[in-house]
Structures are given as C-alpha cells and as structure tokens.
Amino acid sequence: MLPHTANEFEYDFSMQLRYNYRLEPWPRHRLALGKAFGCALVVFNDALAAREAAHQAGEPYLTDAQLSARLTAAKKTPERAWLNDVSAVVLQEALADLNTAYRNFFASFNGTRAGPTAGKPRFRSRKDHRQAVRFTANARFRVLANGKLRLPKIGDVPVRWSRPLPSEPSSVTVIEDSAGRYFASFVVKADPCALPETGPVVGIDLGLHHFVVLSDGRKITAPQFLRRAEKLLKRRQRELSRKQKGSRNRDKARRKVARAHARVADARRDFHHQLSTALIRDNQAVAIEDLAVKGLARTRLAKSIHDAGWSAFAGMLEYKARLYGRKFHRIGRFVPTSQICSVCGVKDGPKPLHVRIWQCGACGTWLDRDVNAAVNVATAAGLAVTACRAQIRPGHALAQRGEAGTHLKSRREVG
Ligand SMILES: [Zn+2]
C-alpha cells in the first residue's frame, strides 16, 4: 500500500494497475537507494532550472531531446561525474517525470486537460515527504526466483510479497516515505475480465456523517481500524504541537506523526479498496455524484471531503467497473440532488444542512436527505433503483432509523 494520498490514483486509462509491496532493504541497499534518490532529484532540478533560465532569457523552450543531451554532457563533467554511479534509466525517468509535469501544466493552461489543475513544475527537495526512483524494463530490473527484487546498481532487495504479481511488470517505482519505509510499486497490464451479469444497480452519494450513502438506504461509515488510526494521528499531532521547537523530542514526535499519517493513508486506502470492490461485484451499474471538490473548497464541507479521499474512491470505482465489465456513471454537480423528491420528482428548493428528514409537500413521502440524494444520483444516471428504504415512514423518521450506519466490518451487510 502506498502511503500518499497525492498519488492515490492506482491506474491510468490504459488499464495499467499498480501492485505495491513493502521492501525490506539492507543497510547497503538503503545507502545505494539514497544515492539514486539524490541523483534523480539533481537531474530533475537541473533540467527544471535549465528550462526556467531559457524562459527567462527569452530563449525557445528546451525540448525533451535537448535536456537529454545536456544530461549526457553533464555526466562527463567532474561536477556531475557521480551521476554515473546510478542506473542511467533512473536518470532518464527523472527527466521523463519533468517532461510529463510540463505537459500536464501546458494542457491545464490550455484547458485541454480534465481533472485537477496542474501547476507549474516545482523543484524537488531532499525534505519532500516522498523520494522515488523508477526503473523501466530497459533497466533490466528482475524479480528473482528467491523472491528478491534485483535493481541495477542497488542490489537484490527483499520484498514482502503480500499477494502474487499477476504478470510481468513493465516498471517498478521504489519509494521511501516520510516514515522511512520503502515500497516497490509495480506497473502491471491488467486484462479486463467481465464478471457474470447481475441485477442490482446503485446510486452512491457522499453522506454528511457517513462515508457513503447508497440508494437502497444503506449508510456506510469508515471502519473501526480507520477511525482508530485517525484518532492516533490526532493525538500524535497534539503531542507534536506541545514540543519545543528545535528540541530533540520534537524531532522524535515529528517522526511519530509521519508514521501515524502513513498508517491513516494505508487504512483509508484499504477501506476504499474493500468498499469499491464490494460495490462493483454486487452491482451491474453504479452512479456517483461528481463532487467538484474545487468548488467546495471554501465551504466547511471541503475539509472532510478532502480527508475522506472521495475522488480516490471514485477513481477506484471507475477502474474496477472497467476491469469487471460494469457500468460507471458520474453525475455532475448541476443536478440539485437534495432539492428533488426522489419519489415524485417535484423540486421544492434547497434546504439548510441541518434538515435531515422532510416530508415532500407534493406526494407526502418522508425523505431522508442522504438516501434521497443517492436515489436522485442513480435516477440522473438513468438507473432504475429500487428505493425500498429511501422513503421512510414518519414513525421511523423520529427514531432516526439508519443513522447508526452500516459498518464495512460486517461484509455481508455491504454485499
Ligand atoms: Zn414527492
């Protein structure tokens, strides 16, 4: 499990999946990896500085080929001769990262890129939370028969194989996170395989007090292990804030915070995987509301949405739907899901956030805010959901039925 939410997306659209494993490098591997991280960082920063200098001097944009030629030349100078100590592929891949960052930036600038805006490429730092180098097939990395990962100019690094690799990986990224842990992230081509067709379809909405609310009335909260990890993180952060600046204890506390952070990210990712797999397995089609998180950035809802990693979860649903032959729909924000009665379709205007339940003025149905929204998401996607629990009877409404939520822990309830 990769520990960083910024790299949460585990796929790209060519159906390449990432398989992540813990590495257990020996001291000499750590030393060699540290060198590789450092070299990749210098190559990246040198190239970025060269492009910025050219830009400031009013010269034309340095092409990818020009940067590559500069790197080759630099390796022959005494100041950069140490770049020869690491795999050449690692350095080329650092340049490739920069080129991708520039392309995303330009595409964002021209408005040709979907998704979050990509900013101008920034210099990397030794102090970044994540150091990484990538080895492609050209680098001749190899998984050995004894289970170790052979990395050129690093050595044979022990791997904790939590599950088998499904096929030959095309590349591996080696990562050190802020908690000092090492990971290997393999890219593997996935062959889509359709699951047997199934009947149910489901609308999914973000609940205010639950991670998701389903159109069939189920409300799913984060599991115990995630909430416990979050609680521990909060405590560690409080402890850190009480430590004196510059003290040795503060350093120790900071490392503890980093480890707690990593644990929360891992737990959250596990939860997202379990839930998205269950939803895709059990439904022929899923529809979710596409929360334009940027638009919500200034509201008080924003923090919880960012924290909960909604977009990462939606991404998992999307790629698993493609992988297993299910339908996936994203519903735009313009559909006012909380303003329409999911039973009769009458739009009766916005309601303040504290209104959790109301009676439709037109048809008299009692509606639960979250479930009603989830049903509307499904309807907007053209899915005919059976909203058996969407409507609640007034007696139940007073008892706040369903507010207890469904825990993922009891897997049978989820699916
Ligand atoms: Zn109604």
pLDDT digits 0-9 by tens, 327-341: 999 887 666 677 889
Do residues 292 and 391 share a domain?
yes
151 membership: H or E segment, kind and range: strand 149-151
| Reported confidence tier of residue 26, pLDDT bands at 50, 70, 90 | very high
Do residues 74 and 205 share a domain?
no
Distance (Å) from CA 342 to ligand 1 centroid = 7
pLDDT for 397 beyond 90: no
- The 8-class DSSP code of residue 169 comes to -
Residue 184 included in any domain: yes
Residue 64 included in any domain: yes
Do residues 143 and 207 share a domain?
no
pTM over 0.95, yes/no: no
Do residues 143 and 206 share a domain?
no
Do residues 304 and 385 share a domain?
yes
pLDDT digits 0-9 by tens, 149-165: 999 999 999 999 988 88
Distance (Å) from CA 202 to ligand 1 centroid = 20
Residue 206 included in any domain: yes
Do residues 211 and 181 share a domain?
no
Do residues 160 and 205 share a domain?
no
Strands of 366-368's sheet in order across:
357-359, 366-368, 391-392
Do residues 46 and 89 share a domain?
yes
Do residues 18 and 164 share a domain?
yes
How many domains are contained in the chain? Answer: 2
Q: CA 384 → CA 286, 342, 365, 397, distances in Å?
A: 11, 11, 18, 24
The pLDDT of residue 15: 66
Q: 27-56 and 64-74 helices cross at what angle (nearest 10)?
A: 120
Residue 324 included in any domain: yes
Do residues 155 and 216 share a domain?
no
Lowest-pLDDT choice from 18-22, 32-36, 219-223: 219-223
Residue 240 included in any domain: no
Do residues 166 and 271 share a domain?
no
Q: Which residues are catalytic?
A: 205, 289, 370
Distance (Å) from CA 211 to ligand 1 centroid = 26
Residue ranges making up the domain that contains 277 = 201-222+265-414
Do residues 211 and 300 share a domain?
yes
- The answer to whether 152 and 235 have CB atoms below 8 angstroms apart is no
Distance (Å) from CA 364 to ligand 1 centroid = 6
Distance (Å) from CA 66 to ligand 1 centroid = 65
Distance (Å) from CA 367 to ligand 1 centroid = 9
Ranked by mean pLDDT, the top range of 23-37, 292-306, 332-346 is 23-37
pLDDT digits 0-9 by tens, 56-91: 999 999 999 999 999 999 999 999 999 999 999 999
* CATH number, domain with residue 349: 3.30.420
